[in-house]
């Protein structure tokens, strides 16, 4: 009944108006529609997903897409375990920006960060919009850089949940993580200075230093 | 607390398995009553002041625990408006300890933060023990005439409650604190743990969970009260130390109003950064008032967003944040309120969040907002600074970073011509290029794993000190030479006879490289710090213009003298001499040993000799 919960900090990156917030709203409000006010901003939202009897709790950090704030992004993706890099399939420029984000994340974010590349707004293709970023392009980039790849529509909800499920499945489970933590702990303990020993040592030093 | 756990205490010879089974399977409808009794007892003791309970964090908590009704939570938490005496005492001890004149040099804010974080962890544990103890004693009371079997169970239950209580509900925390998450309820232990848990019916487990939930909330409340009380107490007692060796230098009138700046007084980089940022925000604000810049346009707030309707509300909150709140948890609450107001607006898309925040900061000009943000970062209990709190704080920090980075070139040429000389100066360069703050990475306190070992070593936290490389290379030699030189300089500049006990402290620090966290317990410690600062300056030399470097180093120097207040000059050196003297030893600051000529080495040696006199 009470499965362990793994928390994942997930950060949304992508050019302005590619639909970052909409994706989150679609993902989160699917399950929580009755609890959320319709006007809520999606700046920070959490959502729990159960994957194979394991609960993953996404803590979703939205970022401002404006170019001028791009340099502030590291403050947001610091310690993030996952990132969604979103672009708009009808805007080639947004795909170029997505490439930059992927590069930056690989260089500056946590080493094991799970990145999902998401081409959004595929609903527009059915409504007569012209596709400007081929699916293959996205797939290729994802393959090169080891990313998850999805094409979604936040409007219709298509594929949105799959993005998060995909990330959830790749996340190291709590059990492993705990072990890692335990290891770290042991390491840090062994690195810890033995206070008593230090005291003894320095007291002899002290005796002759003055 | 673990009243429902009628499990066999195998090691106890007096254990009666029959009774255990009877107990385990009887209808336990009355169990909750047992739990309520201690709460009510406490109620009487503690209902002397009331405190608002509806905080954002608690609201979040409510969402997370569907097994509790709002009513129950309110009931449980309304009782907790003050800390119980035994917990209050911990705060007193901590403050008293802080005020002990045990440090030769004033503590930097990072060191202080580290002490506080250790204290929070200790307090967290103590609260947990307190809550468990209260529950247990309540149970005893209600079962007044119970058999020895119950007493035996009591021992067991406190053991188990230890495990139960540690499965905190907020999962983010359990990630951070592995020990607490190793609960009986975690996946693996549910299925294959010993028979103890198998004897619980789902109902009982549910009840146990409810109790844990309530206890956890209580502990959280205690933590909040702890932060509030610690800083209130600091406000009352002041922060000066009753000895010649001052921990901080406070003037009496400052005790009336708590300024976060006080805590940062010994960390010149922070205060300097803050001052520059204050000036910059003020300058931008003036420019905006004089219509030299159009903020709304500049921040691209022009797509239908009108910041005005909420202006007053936001202003109040920002004032609350900077001026009228004391503890980090009060401040973060104000920030969360701000966050809420801003995100719950219909017209705002998330892309405008930062722009809007920057707009408010520039138009409202909350003083020392940077120090307030850093104050939360450093003095809020790290375990609690997660999720929305962390997000809201990050947004504020990001907004401030954006502002500090603004320069003339970000504005139109038209504006650049219109700027007065003074304004131009403020917008000359980014603040971060002038003052580099001590790395935040180094202040991450190790609250994760070794929390147990932190109990009791509150005055010897895991303060880290720079790693002095010892090698046979030039570099190594230079380091040794440098530090011995600086050791002497340090002695001249602020010689205070080391307290026999404090010298021991020198070796107490963890061996982590490259940071500024060193508790200045004796004069020899100074050498490390000086060396450290020097490294910082050298690195700046490498990356930035010499002028800015020397300026900031001068200001650091100045600040250092200003803020420590206990620097003494040896009688043999008078003021003018000293100045020249300082100039002479400083002139080799950026030099590398291998670049020195023999003449320069001789010069250095002469300086050295002078110092020795």
Please check the confidence at residue B455 and state whether its pLDDT lies above 50.
no
Q: Determine the pLDDT at residue B409.
A: 80
Q: Determine the pLDDT at residue A82.
A: 93
Task: Answer yes or no: are the C-beta atoms of B15 and B152 closer than 8 Å.
Answer: yes
CA B60 to chain centre: 22
3-state secondary structure string across B175-212: HHCHHHHCCCCCHHHHHHCCHHHHCCCHHHHHHHHHHH
Between chains, do B510 and A192 touch, taking CB under 8 Å as contact? yes
Please check the confidence at residue A76 and state whether its pLDDT lies above 50.
yes
Task: Answer yes or no: are the C-beta atoms of B114 and B443 closer than 8 Å.
Answer: yes
Q: How far is A143 from chain B (nearest CA, A)?
A: 29
Please check the confidence at residue B3 and state whether its pLDDT lies above 60.
no
Q: How far is B169 from chain A (nearest CA, A)?
A: 10
Mutate: best of A15, A39, A64, A189, partner B, most B CBs <10 A: A64
What phi and psi, each to the nearest 5 degrees, are found at residue B331? -65, -40
Residue with tokens 């964090």: B57
Question: Measured between beta carbons, which residues in chain A are less than 8 angstroms from residue B506?
Answer: 202
Mutate: best of B66, B507, B513, partner A, most A CBs <10 A: B507
Between chains, do A41 and B350 touch, taking CB under 8 Å as contact? yes
What phi and psi, each to the nearest 5 degrees, are found at residue B30? -85, -5
Residue B463, classed as helix, strand or coil, is coil
**CA separation for the pair B368, A156 (Å, rounded):** 46
Please write the tens of the pLDDT for every residue from B468-516. Answer: 333 334 444 444 444 444 544 444 444 444 444 433 434 434 433 334 4
B window 184-223, beta carbon within 8 A of A: 185-188, 190, 202, 205, 209
CA B399 to chain centre: 20
What phi and psi, each to the nearest 5 degrees, are found at residue A14? 150, 160
Please check the confidence at residue B107 and state whether its pLDDT lies above 60.
yes
Please write the tens of the pLDDT for every residue from B53-65. Answer: 333 333 333 444 4
Question: Measured between beta carbons, which residues in chain B are less than 8 angstroms from residue A66?
Answer: 300, 351, 354-355
The DSSP annotation for B281-298 comes to: HHHHHHHHHTTSS-HHHH
- DSSP 8-state class, residue A11: E
B271 confidence band (pLDDT: 50, 70, 90): confident
More confident residue, A205 or B19: B19
Lowest-pLDDT choice from A131-140, B278-287, B345-354, B597-606: B345-354
Cβ neighbourhood burial of A67 (10 Å; 0-12, 13-18, 19+) = exposed
Residue B263, classed as helix, strand or coil, is helix
Q: Which helix (H) or strand (E) holds B350?
A: none
Please write the tens of the pLDDT for every residue from B153-178. Answer: 444 444 444 444 444 444 443 344 33
Residue A45, classed as helix, strand or coil, is strand
Q: Does A198 touch chain B (CB under 8 A)?
A: yes
Chain A residue with the nearest C-alpha to that of B180? A178
A46 confidence band (pLDDT: 50, 70, 90): confident
Q: Which of B342, B405, B510 sits opposite A193 (nearest CB)?
A: B510
Q: Does A169 touch chain B (CB under 8 A)?
A: no
**CA separation for the pair B432, B442 (Å, rounded):** 18
Q: What mean pLDDT is reported for chain B?
A: 62
Count of CB pairs separated by less than 8 Å, A with B: 154
Question: Measured between beta carbons, which residues in chain B are less than 8 angstroms from residue A17?
Answer: 351
Lowest-pLDDT choice from A138-147, B425-434, B550-559, B589-598: B550-559
Please write the tens of the pLDDT for every residue from A121-150. Answer: 898 888 888 899 999 999 999 999 999 999
B186 confidence band (pLDDT: 50, 70, 90): very low
Cβ neighbourhood burial of A42 (10 Å; 0-12, 13-18, 19+) = buried
Q: Does B300 touch chain A (CB under 8 A)?
A: yes
Beta strands in B360-485 (DSSP E): none
Q: What is the average pLDDT across B227-246?
A: 66
Q: Determine the pLDDT at residue B570.
A: 37
Cβ neighbourhood burial of B19 (10 Å; 0-12, 13-18, 19+) = middle
Task: Answer yes or no: are the C-beta atoms of B46 and B82 closer than 8 Å.
Answer: yes
Name residue A11's beta-bridge partners.
A61, A83
Chain B residue with the nearest C-alpha to that of A207? B500
Q: Is the ipTM of this complex over 0.85?
A: no
**CA separation for the pair B384, B211 (Å, rounded):** 21
Q: What is the average pLDDT across B425-447?
A: 65
Please check the confidence at residue B467 and state whether its pLDDT lies above 70.
no
Lowest-pLDDT choice from B55-69, B79-93, B389-403: B55-69
Please check the confidence at residue A179 and state whether its pLDDT lies above 60.
no
By DSSP bridging, strand A54-61 and strand A114-120 are: unpaired
**CA separation for the pair B359, B365 (Å, rounded):** 10
Between chains, do A41 and B344 touch, taking CB under 8 Å as contact? yes
Residue B238, classed as helix, strand or coil, is coil
Q: How far is B337 from chain A (nearest CA, A)?
A: 14
DSSP percent split of chain A into helix, strand, coil, nearest 5: 50, 20, 30
Between chains, do B508 and A195 touch, taking CB under 8 Å as contact? yes
Please give the structure tokens belonging to residue B208. Answer: 């146990």
Chain B residue with the nearest C-alpha to that of A66? B351
Beta strands in B347-456 (DSSP E): none
Cβ neighbourhood burial of B368 (10 Å; 0-12, 13-18, 19+) = buried
B437 confidence band (pLDDT: 50, 70, 90): confident
Between chains, do A188 and B449 touch, taking CB under 8 Å as contact? yes
Please write the tens of the pLDDT for every residue from A190-207. Answer: 444 444 443 443 333 444
B12 confidence band (pLDDT: 50, 70, 90): low
Task: Answer yes or no: are the C-beta atoms of A87 and A133 closer than 8 Å.
Answer: yes
More confident residue, B71 or A158: A158
Half-sphere exposure of B557 (CA within 13 A, CB side): 14
Over the Cα atoms of chain B, what is R_g? 29
B579 confidence band (pLDDT: 50, 70, 90): low
Question: Measured between beta carbons, which residues in chain B are less than 8 angstroms from residue A199?
Answer: 504, 507-508
């Amino acid at each position: 009944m009470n499965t362990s919960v793994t928390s994942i900090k997930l950060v949304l990156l992508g050019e302005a108006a590619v639909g970052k917030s909409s994706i989150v709203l679609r993902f989160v409000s699917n399950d929580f529609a009755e609890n959320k006010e319709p006007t809520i901003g999606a700046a920070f939202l959490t959502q729990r997903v159960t994957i194979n009897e394991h609960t993953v709790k996404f803590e979703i950090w939205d970022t401002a897409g404006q170019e001028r704030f791009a340099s502030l992004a590291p403050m947001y993706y610091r310690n993030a375990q996952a990132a969604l890099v979103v672009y708009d399939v009808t805007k080639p420029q947004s795909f170029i920006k997505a490439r930059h984000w992927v590069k930056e994340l690989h260089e500056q974010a946590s080493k094991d960060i799970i990145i999902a590349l998401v081409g959004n707004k595929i609903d527009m293709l059915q409504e007569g919009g012209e596709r400007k970023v081929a699916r293959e392009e996205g797939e290729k980039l994802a393959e090169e850089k080891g990313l998850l790849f999805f094409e979604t529509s936040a409007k219709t909800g298509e594929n949105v949940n799959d993005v998060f499920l995909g990330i959830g499945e790749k996340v190291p489970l709590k059990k492993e993580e705990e072990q890692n933590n335990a290891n770290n702990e042991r390491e840090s303990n062994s690195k810890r200075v033995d206070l008593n020993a230090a005291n003894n040592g320095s007291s002899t030093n002290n005796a002759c230093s003055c | 607390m673990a009243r429902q756990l009628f499990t066999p205490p195998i090691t106890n010879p007096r254990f009666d398995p029959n009774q255990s089974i009877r107990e385990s399977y009887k209808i336990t409808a009355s169990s909750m009553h047992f739990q309520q009794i201690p709460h009510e007892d406490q109620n009487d003791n503690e209902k002397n002041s009331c405190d608002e309970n509806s905080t954002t964090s608690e609201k979040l908590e409510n969402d997370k625990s569907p097994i509790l009704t709002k009513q129950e939570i309110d009931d449980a938490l309304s009782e907790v408006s003050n800390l119980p005496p035994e917990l209050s005492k911990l705060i007193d001890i901590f403050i008293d300890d802080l005020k002990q004149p045990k440090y030769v040099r004033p503590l930097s804010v990072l060191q202080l933060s580290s002490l506080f974080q250790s204290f929070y962890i200790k307090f967290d544990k103590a609260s947990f023990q307190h809550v468990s103890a209260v529950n247990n004693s309540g149970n005893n009371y209600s079962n007044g005439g119970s058999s020895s079997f119950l007493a035996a169970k009591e021992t067991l239950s406190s053991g188990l409650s230890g495990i139960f209580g540690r499965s905190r509900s907020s999962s983010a925390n359990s990630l951070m604190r592995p020990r607490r998450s190793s609960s009986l309820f975690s996946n693996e232990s549910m299925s294959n743990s010993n028979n103890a848990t198998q004897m619980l019916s789902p109902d009982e487990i549910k009840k146990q969970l409810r109790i844990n939930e309530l206890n956890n909330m209580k502990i959280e409340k205690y933590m909040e009260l702890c932060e509030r009380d610690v800083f209130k107490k600091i406000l009352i007692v002041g922060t000066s130390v009753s000895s010649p060796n001052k921990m901080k230098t406070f003037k009496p009138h400052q005790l009336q109003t708590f300024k976060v700046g006080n805590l940062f007084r010994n960390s010149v980089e922070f205060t300097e950064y803050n001052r520059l940022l204050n000036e910059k925000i003020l300058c931008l604000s003036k420019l905006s008032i004089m219509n030299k810049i159009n903020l709304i346009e500049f921040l691209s707030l022009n797509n239908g967003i009108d910041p005005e309707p909420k202006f007053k509300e936001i202003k109040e909150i920002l004032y609350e944040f900077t001026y009228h709140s004391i503890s980090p948890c009060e401040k973060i609450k104000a920030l969360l309120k701000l966050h809420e107001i801003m995100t719950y607006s219909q017209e705002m898309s998330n892309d405008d969040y930062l722009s809007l925040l920057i707009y408010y900061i520039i138009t409202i000009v909350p003083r020392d907002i940077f120090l307030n943000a850093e104050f939360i970062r450093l003095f809020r209990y790290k375990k609690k600074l997660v999720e929305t709190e962390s997000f809201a704080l990050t947004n504020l920090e990001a907004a401030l970073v954006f502002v500090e980075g603004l320069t003339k070139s970000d504005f139109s040429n038209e504006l650049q011509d219109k700027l007065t000389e003074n304004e131009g100066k403020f917008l000359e360069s980014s603040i971060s290029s002038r003052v580099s703050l001590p790395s935040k990475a180094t202040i991450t306190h190790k609250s994760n794993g070794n929390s147990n070992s932190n109990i009791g070593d509150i005055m010897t936290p895991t303060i880290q000190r720079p790693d002095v490389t010892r090698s046979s290379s030039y570099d190594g030699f230079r380091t040794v030479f440098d530090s011995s030189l600086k050791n002497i300089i340090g002695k001249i500049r602020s010689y205070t006879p080391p307290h026999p006990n404090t010298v021991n402290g020198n070796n107490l620090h963890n061996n982590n490289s490259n940071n500024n966290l060193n508790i200045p317990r004796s004069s020899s410690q100074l050498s490390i710090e000086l060396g450290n600062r020097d490294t910082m300056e050298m690195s700046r030399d490498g990356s930035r213009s010499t002028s800015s470097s020397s300026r900031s180093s001068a200001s650091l120097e100045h600040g250092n003298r200003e803020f420590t207040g206990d620097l003494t000059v040896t009688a043999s050196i008078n003021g003018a001499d000293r100045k020249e003297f300082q100039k002479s030893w400083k002139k080799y600051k950026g030099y590398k040993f291998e670049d020195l000529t023999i003449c320069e080495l001789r010069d250095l040696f002469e300086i050295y000799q002078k110092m020795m006199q």
